[in-house]
């Protein structure tokens, strides 16, 4: 069965680009423009989403807030979350990890690194 990845980014061209890239690799994708929207999609389709791939800096609900929401909700807490971001502050990375983040991919990324991280996270949950 195809794995589904929820891509969250407020910048539409990046979101579409990431979705395209993933689709070419054979993933199903869902898109959301911010954390709140993503959380809504996720709670509605909890069983269908295998991974959340989100930007860090977004208006309204940041990636970090989204991560906390996901990890605090027992229904969706098992869905792994990856940040895809230009942010590279180690403190932020550290606290995100403590909050249950599975991986941190820095933009711009190389596609090998990108897919290796995604596959690794989905394999190991």
Partner 1 sequence: MDSNQKRFVEDALDLLNELDEGLMQLESNPQATAPLEQVFRTMHTIKGGANMFGFENIGELAHQLETLYDMVRQGKMQITDGLISLTLHAFDKVRDLLKEKDVARINNAEVLKDHLTSAVNFLKVAESESSADISQTTNAKNKDELATFCLRISPTINITEDGNHPLVFIVQDISALGTSKVILIQKPSREVDHWEVFITTTAPQSELESYFIFVENECVVSYFKLTPCDLFEQPEFSEYLNSLDNLPADPTKIATFVALRLATYHQQKDEDEEIAEIGNTKKRSVSDSYIKVSKRKVDDLLNWISELIILQAQLATTASSIQSTALNDVAEQLEMITGRLRDTSLEIGLVPVETLVTKFKRLVRDLSKQLNKKVNFLSEGADTEMDKDVIEMMADPMVHIIRNSIDHGIEPAVERKAIGKSEHGTVKLKAFNSSSYVNIIISDDGKGISRENVLQKALEKKLISPNENPSNEDVFNLIFHPGLSTASQVSDVSGRGVGMDVVKQRIDELRGSVAVKSIAGKGTAIHIKLPLSRSIIEGLLVNVAETRYVVPLNVIERIDRIPYAEIHREDKVDKTVIVNEEPLPVLSLRQRFHNDVNPPKTADIISVLVNGIKKGIAVDRIEGKMQTVMKPLGDVYKQQDFISGSTILGNGTLALVLDPARLFLSTSHKEFSDKYEKSN
Distances (CA, A) of 79 to 13, 52, 87, 117: 25, 7, 22, 15
Written as six digits, the tokens of 55 are 């930007």
* Beta carbon of residue 47, minimum distance to partner 1 (angstroms, whole number): 25
Q: Which is nearer to partner 1, 46 or 99 (CB)?
A: 99
Nearest one of 33, 31, 40, 24 to 7, comparing CA atoms = 31
* Beta carbon of residue 102, minimum distance to partner 1 (angstroms, whole number): 7
Q: Which is nearer to partner 1, 48 or 119 (CB)?
A: 119
Q: Which is nearer to partner 1, 46 or 93 (CB)?
A: 93
> Please, how many CA atoms are within 13 Å of residue 101, restricted to the half-sphere of its CB?
24
Counted residue by residue, the chain has a size of 125
Question: Under the rule (CB under 8 A), what is the footprint of partner 1?
Answer: 10-14, 16-17, 20, 55, 57, 59-60, 62, 64-65, 85-86, 88-94, 97, 101-104, 107-108, 110, 112-113, 115-117, 119-120
């Amino acid at each position: 069965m195809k794995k589904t990845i929820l891509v969250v980014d407020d910048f539409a061209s990046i979101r579409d680009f990431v979705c395209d890239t993933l689709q070419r690799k054979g993933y199903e994708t869902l898109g959301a423009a911010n954390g709140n929207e993503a959380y809504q999609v996720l709670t509605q389709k909890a069983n269908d989403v295998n991974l959340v791939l989100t930007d860090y800096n977004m208006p309204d609900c940041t990636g970090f807030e989204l991560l906390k929401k996901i990890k605090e909700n027992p229904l969706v807490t098992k869905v792994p979350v990856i940040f895809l971001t230009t942010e590279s502050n180690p403190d932020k990375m550290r606290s995100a990890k403590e909050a249950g983040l599975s991986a941190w991919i820095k933009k711009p990324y190389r596609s090998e690194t990108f897919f290796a991280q995604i596959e690794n996270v989905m394999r190991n949950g």
